[in-house]
Structure 1
Amino acid sequence: MSIAEAGEFGLIGRIISRLGSGPATLLGPGDDAAVVRAADGRVVASTDVLVEGRHFRRDWCGPADIGHRAAAANLADIVAMGATPTALLVALCVPTGTDPTWVEGLADGLSDEAGLVGASVVGGDMSASPTLTIAVTALGDLGGAAPVRRDGAQPGDILALSGRIGYAAAGLTVLSRGFRTPKLLVEAYRRPAVRYAAGPEAARLGATSMIDVSDGLLQDLGHVATASVVGIDVHSDAFDVPDQMRDAANALGVDPYQWILAGGDDHPLAATFPPGVSLPEGWQVIGAVHDGTGVTVDRKPWTGGGLGWDHFR
């Protein structure tokens, strides 16, 4: 059976039956709009879109993997503000010949990833399209705290990272060269492992700025440097290159630091903190903030390749 045979409302029914309900959901899918609790009185919102052939390939990732990726890209943005995710809205544009079970797998991935933070898919829309496209909007709650923005870094702050980095970019390179191993790297590309709790944790610790590293560490830190009108220096010796990444880099003729410093899709959180802050386990100091502009590596401009992903490049 194809989606065309199942019909729009038959497909919607199959998707809704697979979705859970988070504690912030007062009214979920099935009405004209959802109702989501916003006890704080403010709602944090973010949107991301994934287009087949540009952001994912179905021969590289299963439907649940793609659902996890789509949800994680948005949930990471919410926690990077110091907020707790509450709900997802999903718009799906899909070719009519697609098997409905593929869409069910996608829904499972979206729902399972949202469930990691107690959120749920509360609604969305769908349309026929020659190109498979997934647009996700995430909502979040600040719990009475101020949002952690990009423009608060100060000279003298330390720069720290929470979460793995370079793994997904390495996995993408491996897949693009026609390989399926090392599994560690390939699976990192297929499903991000985001430390969601680190966002609100950083806010409680007094983070002066924070960002979800989705497009490349150097490029995304550039946004923080520009917004805060400061310079940021990254210390290359702060990063350990795991054996499987180093072996893959040697086999493929790639500098592993290109994956670490300029690769995306792992979604670690980078944050700046006042000097003297004691960081808990899961955070690693990787640099410092200083007077100046732009981002450097070991106090020098990065010359190892591009700085990160650009949708129009």
Structure 2
Amino acid sequence: MSLETKEERVKLTPTLAEIGEKRVIEAITSVAPSSINGDDAAVLHTPVPNRRTVATTDLLVEGRHFRLDWSTPEEVGHKAIVQNFADIEAMGARPAAALLGLAAPADTPISIVQGIARGIAEASSHYNTELVGGDVTQAGELVVSITAIGALGGDRQALTLDRARPGQQVVAHGKIGWSAAGLALLERFGRALPEEHSELWPLIDAHCAPWITPGRGQVARATGVTAMTDNSDGLIPDLSTIAARSGVSIDLFADAIKPDPLLVQAGALLGRDPLEWVHAGGEDHTLLATTAKPAPSGFRVIGEVVRGESVTVDGRPSPYTKGWASF
């Protein structure tokens, strides 16, 4: 599971400065091809009536959101797509295309850029989408920016943050706390996780390459979910946003969000409270939603919407509320 050092990659492949912008773009499109990429702008098809466009963008900055001694370039590209497509899914929409903005130092090996593009292409393929364009430029640090385009069909409302109502259930799709636990393991061991703790690798994988099942956002919208977001900043912070925007309180069921055995084991190994990873970890990109109907396929009930304006666990405030913040 060891990764090549940056110095080893420099020896293996030419740098961006050595091959020039045109060949950098060719290297990206060779591993992430699209028949509509290559003109001044991509023209997207609109195959269904009553369709609305959904757009979002996110940045990944080396040293802030990823490290190349912890993640492969393919994992960086995968993560960039999932965190953006999760935002599209959280609106109940279908991802349709992705654009890449890449800034990198001139001495960056082309293999790193191709690896990122390969990860983007692979993750996008699970959604039947493609990388349809973008831009590259020189910068002092490696920055990956994805702009995701989605489609919202039919006449149902988008799953906005302000539509939770008292009496509804809170439901979730995906792991909660795994990404934060994986980050904590990387901070302690890097990619050199001791063999006797190899069963914890899924937590590291969840941080480097998070995953949600494609299409769950559309399923949620079709089955009557009202408000939805993805767990990017932390369970308590993200649900607090829904609560504040909707003017309600959310009470989570402690048994429904208790740390699973892997989190408990990682907590014991690191001397950490695994509950912190669940409540405030973030970057799982779990879909969190409210509904007055039974939980949609692939979702589970984790709480309820009540009157008030707060987020509690079994009626009590959580000791962990900070979550992820850019500043």
Q: TM-score, normalised by structure 2?
A: 0.90
Give CA deviations for 1:186-213 in whole Å, capped at 9, x if unaligned.
1111111112221011101111100011
Q: Which residues of 2 match residues 152-231 of structure 1 at below 5 A?
A: 152-180=163-191, 181=193, 182-231=200-249
Give CA deviations for 1:4-39 in whole Å, capped at 9, x if unaligned.
011000110111121244xxxxx6221111111234
Q: Which residues of 2 match residues 62-211 of structure 1 at below 5 A?
A: 62-144=72-154, 145-180=156-191, 181=193, 182-211=200-229
Give CA deviations for 1:69-121 in whole Å, capped at 9, x if unaligned.
01111000001100000000110000110110111110000111111111111
Q: d(CA) in 2 for partners of 1:284 and 1:151?
A: 21
Residue equivalent to 1:282: 298
The letter for the 2-side match of 1:35 is V
Partners of 2:220 and 2:296 within 8 A in 1? no
Number of positions where the alignment pairs a residue of Structure 1 with one of Structure 2? 304
Q: CA RMSD in A?
A: 1.3
Match of 1:297 among 313, 316, 319: 313
The alpha carbon displacement at 1:171 in A equals 0.3
What 5-or-longer segments of structure 2 have no aligned partner? 1-13, 194-199
Partners of 1:195 and 1:268 within 8 A in 2? no
Q: d(CA) in 2 for partners of 1:11 and 1:232?
A: 48
Q: TM-score, normalised by structure 1?
A: 0.94
Residue equivalent to 2:4: none
Partners of 2:71 and 2:208 within 8 A in 1? yes
Give CA deviations for 1:106-146 in whole Å, capped at 9, x if unaligned.
00001111111111110001100011111111000112242
The letter for the 2-side match of 1:146 is Q
Residue equivalent to 2:256: 238
Q: d(CA) in 2 for partners of 1:160 and 1:185?
A: 22
Give structure 1 regions of 4+ aligned residues with deviation exceeding 4 angstroms. none
Residue equivalent to 2:9: none
What 5-or-longer segments of structure 1 have no aligned partner? 22-26
Partners of 2:94 and 2:218 within 8 A in 1? yes
